[in-house]
Amino acid sequence: MNPARPSSAVILLREKAGDTEVFLGKRHGRATFASAFVFPGGVVEPEDALVHEHCRGVDRSDADRRLSVVSGGLDYFSAAIRELFEETGVLLATDTDGEWITKEADRRVSLSDTRQALYAGELSWAETLSSWRIKLATDHLHYVGHWETPVILSARFSTRFFLADLPPGQEPKHDGKELIDSRWLTPTEALGLHKIGEIELPFPHMTHLQKLASFSTPQELRQWARERWREPIVKVRPWIIEGAGERKFILPWEPGYPDNA
C-alpha cells in the first residue's frame, strides 16, 4: 500500500442572488483526477511548515486541535491558501492592518506576477509572505472534511477539505496549467451536470457538494462550516469494488466495508 500524501483542498464560495455558488476547476488530462472538476488544492509541502508566523487567527495549537493531529496542523492551512493562490490567483490574506489583500491594492509586486513566480519556483512561499509583510487569513478557512484515497490506487492522498468565502476585491481565474477550465456553479447545478455526464466529479467532491446542497440558505451553510470541526471530523477512506465494468465505492459505515481496511 502506497502511503497517502498529506494535502489540502479549498471549497471556495460566493453568494449570488441569495444562493451559494462553488468554484470548480477542471484538471488537465495528465493530472490526478484527470479532466475532472475539483476544488482547488494540492499536497502539503515542506515550506508550509516555515510560514506559521505569518498565520492569523489560528495558531499551531488551534490547528492541531481542529484537525485532531499531534503536530503539523497549521501546515494544512498554509497549503490550502498557497494552492488556492497558485491555481486560481485568489489570495486569502490580509495586510498588517487586517485589511484584505486585493488585486487593485497598490503593492510592490502584483498578485498575478507573484503567482507566476511562485508557481515557477522563482519565489518561495516564505519569501512571498515576508516581502509583502502579510498575514494568511487562516481564521477564514473552515475545516469541514477529511478523505483518504482508497488503498488500491497508486496515487494516494490524505486530503483535508476547507471551506472559505471569496475575499473581497478578488476573482478566481484558472491557471491554465493545473486547471484548464473553471466554473461557478451552485452545488445542485454541479451535481446535476455530473449526473448527465457533462462534468466529472471525484467521489469526495461529489459527497461534499451533496452536503452543501442540503442547506436552505448561505447563512446556514456558513454556520455549519464554522462548527463542523467540533463533531469531530473522522477520516473517510472508501473501499473500491470493481466488476462488470463498474466501480462501486463503499464507505466505512456501509455494509461490506472490510474490517481491516
Domains of the chain by residue range: 5-234
Provide the residue-wise pLDDT of the chain in tens; the chain has 261 residues: 789 999 999 999 999 988 999 999 999 877 777 789 999 999 999 999 999 999 999 999 999 999 999 999 999 999 999 999 999 999 999 988 888 987 655 455 578 888 888 888 889 999 999 888 889 999 999 999 999 999 988 889 999 999 999 999 899 999 888 899 999 999 999 999 999 999 999 999 999 999 999 999 999 999 999 999 999 899 999 998 887 778 788 999 989 888 766
How far apart are the C-alpha atoms of 75 and 132, rounded to whole Å? 20
Q: Is 206 left (phi over 0), alpha (psi -120 to 50) or beta?
A: alpha
pTM score of the predicted model: 0.94
How far apart are the C-alpha atoms of 114 and 22, rounded to whole Å? 25
Domain 5-234 classification at class level: alpha beta
DSSP state of 21: E
β partners of residue 135: 94
